[in-house]
Amino acid sequence: MNYIIGIDMGGTWLRIAIANLDYKIINKAYIKMKELLESPSIIDSLEKIIRKFAGDRINEVIEIGFAAAGKLDLNKMLIVFSPNSSLRNLSLSPLEEKLKKPIKLINDGVAAALAEWKIGSGVNHDNFVYVNIGSGIGGGIIVDEHLLIGKEGNAHEFGHMIIDIHGTLVCRCGGRGHWEAYTSGNGLLNYCSFLAKSFEIRTEFLNKVLSGNFTSREVFEYARIGDEFAYYVVKEANRLNGIGLANLINLYDPSIISMGGSVVINNIDMIINPLRFYIKELSFNTPPDIVPSKLGENAPLIGAMIFAREYNEF
């Protein structure tokens, strides 16, 4: 029997899965990125992790799909840098040589988009946009049944799209006014602090923000129980998300947008419905429906496997 391995390297977790050739996941494991980044050789550690995880099946693994967050250079099999970790210029070529298995690198958001398009929320849509709002904002785009890749593999970095011409907030990449600096899990913290400065009603959540001790999850929890400041932040965040989505709709004319990532999946009621309203207001092109991701956290793993198996030109 033949197997494929999928790896998803994010800011906090490295996830690894093994599947049969129908992309049915047989086993999955999580490793803390901190452990990997602190090891003397990341490539040696990755080799060990893969061999240990696959066990006896390693000889039957025919390909490895590697999804990674951050800026990539697919021509050089290189993870150039990731705004959410200390990783810099990691080449996967030595790993390929050590394991003697073909490895294909792809951005994690693009991998998730590919999986959602092939077997998830985007099936039967030739024009499909997947937006992931987690610690950052990313995703992938399919236009006329074609997965967009770009010259180095970064044709989807819409989290770094400039949505604020005044560049009020600084993104983790160093740029100003980028979408993810405002409404991603990390960005929302800075956005709350910024909005708190001019909000005139003292609420419980506003006090928490001013004390500096709060989480992005609490924004939605407080909004749900009627805190006026938290509700205002969610409303402003949705308006900015609406601007981001409207830009994507005008660029790519998708027939459906799928949304995933922890911020969306934990707050579907407070994000997807309002966004349906905002994209009607803001987009020039006919607004498509917005649906939640079907594959959840497995999307990047499965997408990396599909990319490894079906995209031989890379």
| Token representation of residue 309 | 């198996």
- By the rule CB under 5 A, 160 interacts with Zn ion: yes
Binding mask 224-263 for Zn ion (x = CB under 5 A): ----------------------------------------
What's the min distance (Å) between Cβ of 178 and Zn ion? 4
# binding residues, Zn ion (CB under 5 A): 5
How near is the Cβ of 204 to Zn ion at its closest, in Å?
31
Does 173 engage in binding with Zn ion (CB under 5 A)? yes
Cβ 260 vs Cβ 112: under 8 Å: yes
Distance, CA of 137 to CA of 261 (rounded, Å): 9
Segment interacting with Zn ion (CB under 5 A) among 137-145, 155-163, 183-191, 272-280: 155-163
| 147 lies in the site for Zn ion, by CB under 5 A | no
Q: What are the backbone angles phi and psi of residue 214, rounded to the nearest 5°?
A: -160, 165
Q: Residue with the closest Cβ to Zn ion?
A: 171
Residue 199: half-sphere exposure toward Cβ, Cα within 13 Å: 23
First CA to last CA across the chain, in angstroms? Answer: 25
Among 71, 104, 125, 178, binds Zn ion (CB under 5 A): 178
User: Within 13-72, which residues bind Zn ion (CB under 5 A)?
Assistant: none
For position 196 contacting Zn ion by CB under 5 A, the verdict is no
Binding of Zn ion by 292 (CB under 5 A): no
Smaller CB distance to Zn ion: residue 94 or 175?
Answer: 175
175 binds Zn ion (CB under 5 A): yes
Does position 94 bind Zn ion by CB under 5 A? no
- Pick the piece of the chain touching Zn ion (CB under 5 A) from 61-69, 100-108, 160-168, 234-242: 160-168
Could you say whether residue 171 binds Zn ion (CB under 5 A)?
A: yes
CA distances in angstroms from 151 to 73, 74, 250, 314, listed in the order given = 8, 8, 22, 12
Distance of CA 142 to the CA centre of its chain: 15
> Least Å distance between CB 8 and Zn ion?
21
Distances (CA, A) of 235 to 69, 105, 159, 240: 28, 37, 19, 9
- Listing DSSP states for 263-303 in one string gives HHHTTHHHHHHHHHHHHHHH-SSPPPEEEE-SSGGGHHHHH
CB of 176 vs Zn ion, minimal distance in Å = 8
Minimum separation from the CB atom of position 112 to Zn ion (A): 19
Beta strands 13-19 and 61-68: pairing type? Answer: unpaired
Q: At 207, list the tokens.
A: 């006090």
Binding site for Zn ion (CB under 5 A): 160, 171, 173, 175, 178
